[in-house]
Structures are given as structure tokens and as C-alpha cells.
Amino acid sequence: MFLWSTLFVLLQCNSVRGTRQIQKRQITATPPTTCTPSSATTTINSQADAKALSTCFVIAGSVLVSTAVNGTISFDGPQNITGNLIADSADLLTGLSSSSLSNISGDIIITNLSNTFDVFNFPSLGSAGSLTLSSLPGLGSVETLQGFTTKSMTISNTSLGSAPLLSNDTEILDINNNFRIGDLAFNLASISTSLNFDSNGAATFSFPKLVWASNITAINVPQLNLPVLAVVNNSFGIYGSLEVGLNAPQLTTIGTFENAVGTGSLSVVSSPELTTLGLGSLRLIGGNLSVIGNNALRSIALTALQTVGGGMDLEGGFHSANFSSLVSVKKAMSIQTTDSSFDCSTYKALDFTVIQGGFECRTINSSMSTAPAPVVDSPSPGISPGAKAGFGIAIPLIAVLSAGATFFWLRHKKRNRMTVTVAPRLGYSIGAELPGGGKNEEKGLPVQVNELGEYYFKPVPEAHELCGGETVEEGRGGGEMRVERVQESGSSVI
């Protein structure tokens, strides 16, 4: 009996081992299937088209849900789509889902669907090139894998109560006009292109790990928490009703300021319930600073701010503004407040030394302003300072040389005007009557070769006694006299 029992057990174990080996051979013998359609895009017209892809491990190319689809489309089976997943303007589409898809290499674009579209369920989806859910008034929930990653996410005009929580750094995060959405917290360290929140009901946004962002725009956001944010590479704008306040205590830099050129601005505009800026560490604003229309903001305190690469525009009902570390404002400063106790003279003292573009301050009871400071640190686009200095030396020198040249030319000209004849010691001039009624035929001294040509001058009746008793008579005869220029040597004519 024992022998039969032992034999039965051995046979049963061999059967189990054989079954497992067969199953193992079957598993390893079935490689993942990649479905490559004839075109780059597979169009889904019905659930039957989606079911035909269930044996595909990878769908090569993009998947487009036709506008003619009616009902819900489920992609169960495939794990990867190498292109995009698109559903746009399919009015009768009521839902999209997949229990198996884990990665979509391209973009997920679900837009312009009707109120009946209310399901977006991808519980295994871990990554996509980008995710856009836009103009989906009936969509109330989204299910994706916790830790979803993407380069860009836009959630716009939906009825969502929550959004996929990203686990990686991203390029673009845009959440706008989702009136039912609740408070959101994202564990992102950086946002390399833009962070945008606009009109999302009463939702508050928190980024407990965000260190830097390229641009931040918050419109009608009740509360924005950025506890470790240090740098905004370009601009930071807050518009609308911050009810509780802005919390960015470690933010030091907005924009850049290099080679006297600044970019990136800080704008806090039209937040009537804002009571504090919460920017105690801010040192640099590359462009403009604008704090305008925040009526509950009674004091503006940016005590660490040193440099503003643009201008400053402060307007509201504040009674004080503290910029105790301010060193440079490259453009104008304008202050307008409805509080009569504000002291404009405090800032007028900074004019020209700190404020380079002029200063204006107005309260209910007083106003003061000054013109822009002279520009001394910007090179002229025309003549360089070195050229100007050269002109300053050259012009007087040219004037002196011109005066000297004119003097010598006039002196030379005057000497050439004289018609000279030398009378012998007998007392008569050459050309006068000789004793006995004869005429002296001497007409003048011989002309030297290569001398200057002929000149005509009016004679001037003067006489000069030369050394040795000769007499020089100039211009005798009363009319114009032709003279021939002769060589002069010292004070005599040879």
C-alpha cells in the first residue's frame, strides 16, 4: 500500500513540473507585438476598431479618435503608443479609458468635447510627452498613475475637482478656468518655461519644493505658496485677488541685469485684498517693478531690494514704502498714493544718486517731481568720447595754424605789390630823362628763369632810402604799372 502511495505522489509531481515547463515555453515563445499601421495615424471610428488593437503591445504612430465616434472608447491591451493620442470635437464621445497603457511618447490632446464627455480613466499611465485637457465642460475627474510625468500639462475650462499631480520637473504647467478645482500641491523643483494659474475658483496652489521657474503668472489666485523659490529667470506677475497673500520668503532674483541691460519684471496689480507682499529677500529685479491698485496693501516693504533694472511704479493707498537697501533704479520712479501722510521727501533725496530716470511723487495734499538725471554711463551712438577729445585739441590748433598762414600770406603779398627801380647815385631814376635830353632805355632788371609770372598792381606813391644811398620809388606815374617780379636778397634788390 505504501508503495502505491509513493508512486502516485511521484507521478503527480512530474505532472505539475511538466505543466509548468509547458507554460514557461508558451510565455517565452510569445514576443511583444508591435502593430504598425499602413499610415502614420490609426483612426478609431468605433469600439470595434479599438478592440482590434488589443493584441498589440506597441501601437506605432498616432491614434486619432474620429469625430463620428459614439460612446466610450477603451484601449485595453496595448501598453505603448509611439505617437499622439488625439480626440478633438467628437461631440458624441462620452469617455476614454485604458487599463493597460503605461506610456504615450507623443502628446495627449483631448479638446472641444461636449458635456457628455465625463470619463478620462488611465490608471496605469505613467508618462506622456504632454497632456492637454481643454474645453471639457462635462469632465469631472481624471485618473492617472500617481507620479505621472510629462514635459507640459495644460488643464483648461473643465469641471475637474483635481488635476494629475506631476512628480517630475516640467517645462510648462498651465491650469486655468477650472472653477470647481480644489487646492493643489505639486512637488516640482523647477519649471523651465512657464507656470500659469488663472481663475480657478477658490483653489490655492502650493509648490513646497520649487526652487526656480522661468516665468510665473498668477491671475485671481487666492493664495500662492512658494516657500523655497529662489529665482525667477524672467517675469513674475500677480493679477487679481490674492486674499491671503503671497508667500515667497526666499525669492532673491527676478530676471537678469547684465551689461546695463535688464529683463524680467515684477508686477503685483489689482489685488484689493492683498495685505502683504511676502518678498523680504528680494534683491534684484532686472526690469520694472509695478505695485498698483492693491488697496488693502498699507505698507510696501522690500527692504532687501538693491537693483531695479527698469523703472518703479507704485500706486495705491499705502502710507509707507521701505526700500532701505536700494542702490540703483535705472529708469524713473513714480509714486502715487491716496494716503496724505506719505512723505515724498524721503525718496526725492534719492534722485540723481539712486534714481536715474527722474522722480515723481503725488499724494492727496502734495506733489513733487524732478527731471531725469543726465546720462553718463551710456556710450553715444555717434561720436565717441575719444573722438570728441581729439576734436577739442585739433580745432584750436587748426585755428592757430590758419591765423599764422593768413599772416604770412598777407605779408608775402604786400612785398610782392612793390614795383622797385634802383636809381644810381647821380640822383635820377631809371626811366627819367638823362642829361642832354636823352632817355634811359633801361626798363628794369632782368627776370630770372622759373620766377613767378606777371602781376599787375596799383602803384603807391612812396619812396624809401636803401642802404648805400639808393632810392626806391614805388608806383610813380599814377596809372597801373606792369611789373616783373625780381629776386630779393635781404633789404636790397640785385
In a domain, 115, yes or no: yes
Indicate the number of domains in the chain: 4
pLDDT tens digits in sequence order for the chain, 494 residues long: 545 455 454 555 555 455 555 454 444 445 578 898 888 999 999 999 999 999 999 999 999 999 999 999 999 999 999 999 999 999 999 999 999 999 999 999 999 999 999 999 999 999 999 999 999 999 999 987 777 999 999 999 999 998 888 888 999 999 999 999 999 999 999 999 999 999 998 889 999 999 999 999 999 999 999 999 999 999 999 999 777 678 999 999 999 998 888 999 999 999 988 988 889 999 999 999 999 999 999 999 999 999 999 999 999 999 999 999 999 999 999 999 999 999 988 888 787 789 999 999 999 776 766 656 554 444 444 444 454 445 455 455 555 555 555 555 555 555 544 433 333 333 333 344 444 444 444 444 444 444 444 434 344 444 444 444 444 444 444 444 443 444 444 443 33
In a domain, 189, yes or no: no
Same domain, 278 and 404: no
Dist. CA 153–CA 164, nearest whole Å: 9
User: Which one-letter DSSP state was computed for residue 181?
Assistant: -
* Predicted pLDDT at 30: 54
| Domain extent for 162 | 29-168
Residues β-bridged to residue 198: 176, 219
In a domain, 332, yes or no: yes
In a domain, 247, yes or no: yes
* Predicted pLDDT at 381: 45
Measured between alpha carbons, how far is residue 262 from residues 212, 235, 254, 255, 327 in Å? 19, 11, 10, 7, 15
Q: Output b/e per residue, 343-363; b: 16+ Cβ within 10 A.
A: ebeebbeebeebbbbbbbbbb
Residues β-bridged to residue 490: none
Same domain, 155 and 46: yes
In a domain, 282, yes or no: yes
Same domain, 389 and 424: no
Same domain, 245 and 145: no
Contact present, 262 and 284 (Cβ < 8 Å): no
Same domain, 450 and 463: yes
